[in-house]
Structure 1
């Protein structure tokens, strides 16, 4: 496809002519920036097929996407489906691409998207499930900061877009965050992200409960559902597959508290529940907000601000998010809390999978 353009700033919710192409080109640039060259290669190959004369129901559905292709993460929907065919061994012709061997990518993807049309079509029906345990490091760092701000160091954690609930098991993990150690001495998983900047505050914290929601929750104990989740993992990031296996074992030991519900209903419901004194109620989410419909975003924000207005020093409310700033191809760890910290504060820049954290909060 020649020289690859960089990321083009645009309205994520824009629809219409030319937006599918822009979404795919932006996804290529985004993957490259995140060190995911193989995924970028697959996305680019899919686009080359879309821009050819080849046609079937699958390709036409993508070409004539009715929603906003960027907000809907259309490129990653179909890329996940293709990766699943590789992981399951059903498409050996993909081997050169996933092993980094030169090949005629367009020809391979053309044949595959015709031969596996029926299998790939359902992958377009919903957004990617990007559940990554490494993002828990951000949530823990934010809790350390909140405790240093004077909030109770006991946390009741609520998560939206929980997918399989891997981050709901964050109390079973161990962390080394800029030299600050948190968590179990013998954890299910241990995280030691590359840390830049000063360390977070060293505080004793306790997670008293975790509960989450997803519109299509994944059962990690179901092999087929687990394979689907693995398909959304970028193949370059091999450590993430090891983490997924560890999360599967943990879920089989004790399933996370996860309900099927949309994000706005969940937040409104949970904020109505009684809150113990001396416990900070914390809403958290990572790489989710872009998939939440705008009306639900407004409801969640309104519910949090209304809950914040009633919060007290003994029963505070906090909101921690790890979401993309696509103007700079990076993710931000941001926090709001009530009472006292109503304005949003950025604590760090974070790699989307938690591999690196640049702490800027001091």
Structure 2
């Protein structure tokens, strides 16, 4: 694996850019992001869609993408339509797309153009909302952060609050086992096991426990519903086959016991949760992964204000932490960052992380 200390320089792209040229820039940025994250097939699909947009092909679907009124990168527009294209392949409705997903050389733009023209109606709803990219592998970041927080002196019994939980896969992380650079945490018979390729020193060892986990989403997904589960699978990058196995394991775990998940926006959820009494001897943790860009700016401000207000009232017996795994598109990697109260109000980056948990570079 390449030395992560020698990251390529990428042109900075403002996530909120909109207007002329923004759509083309968003698709080009997504291609680079996928290639850097080891997703060449997804890069092919996104690149082919970009070629269609640059051609004279036209229908309501194509024109809606071309004339996108929002910020296409912040809205994850390339991944919205790529998810729809992948769903056509998974369902078998567009068998002609098979060469792309099998990694066989083909006229990608022609195949994708034909699919976008033929399946205009079923593809259109995929543009209505952001991708649901619920990935269990990201929870390795949360586990490592909890080890670090315990080492900082925060109580090692954690009450988790997650925004943008999608199907709640990461809310079930108390059922997962982790090998983090040789530091092992989790049950002996887990629903899933994660051992990301580790770079740097291991996180500190600690005896941690998750005492509760609750999350929210504006459009929560029920993993026990096959149709909803298929939609989640469509957002999985096809070359990352292990993620399909993880999804099946998550479905089994949710069938045994569903995660505690409510339909609510991020600001309302955080404000409501922080207003409730905190059990003494627990660390309350707000966590999220690859979701902050989808939270409206006014809600981001409300979440931040609520956390800082609660942080000011935090005590050694009732500490508070904020753990996030979000993209830095200047390097096409993800940053694991932590804030905690009392004592560590400034954000600290603990690691660089692969978007699906394949590897971590520990900085903490």
List aligned pairs for 1:192-211, cutoff 5 A: 192-211=195-214
1:341 to 337, 340, 344: 344
Alignment root-mean-square deviation, CA: 0.8
Partner of 1:124: 127
Partner of 2:20: 17
Partner deviation per Cα, 1:286-312 (whole Å, 9 max, x = no partner): 011111111111110110000000100
Find the residue that maps to 1:167 and give its secondary structure.
helix
Segments ≥4 residues shifted beyond 3 Å: none
Asked if 1:133 is matched to 2:169, the reply is: no
| Contact kept in structure 2, 1:285 and 1:320, CA below 8 Å | yes
1:308 to 289, 308, 311: 311
Cα distance in 2, alignment partners of residues 170 and 155 from structure 1? 12
TM-score normalised to the size of structure 1?
Answer: 0.97
Give how far 1:107 is off.
Answer: 1.2
Asked if 1:264 is matched to 2:287, the reply is: no
Find the residue that maps to 1:8 and give its secondary structure.
coil
Partner of 1:297: 300
| Contact kept in structure 2, 1:7 and 1:26, CA below 8 Å | no
Find the residue that maps to 2:56 and give its secondary structure.
coil
Partner of 2:150: 147
Cα distance in 1, alignment partners of residues 222 and 10 from structure 2? 35
Partner of 1:53: 56
| Contact kept in structure 2, 1:281 and 1:318, CA below 8 Å | yes
Partner of 2:223: 220
Cα distance in 1, alignment partners of residues 114 and 200 from structure 2? 48
Asked if 1:87 is matched to 2:90, the reply is: yes
Partner of 2:71: 68
List aligned pairs for 1:165-244, cutoff 5 A: 165-244=168-247
1:352 to 341, 346, 355: 355
Partner deviation per Cα, 1:137-190 (whole Å, 9 max, x = no partner): 110000000001000000000000000000000000011111111000000000
Cα distance in 2, alignment partners of residues 192 and 308 from structure 1? 32
Cα distance in 1, alignment partners of residues 14 and 141 from structure 2? 27
Equivalent residues, number: 356
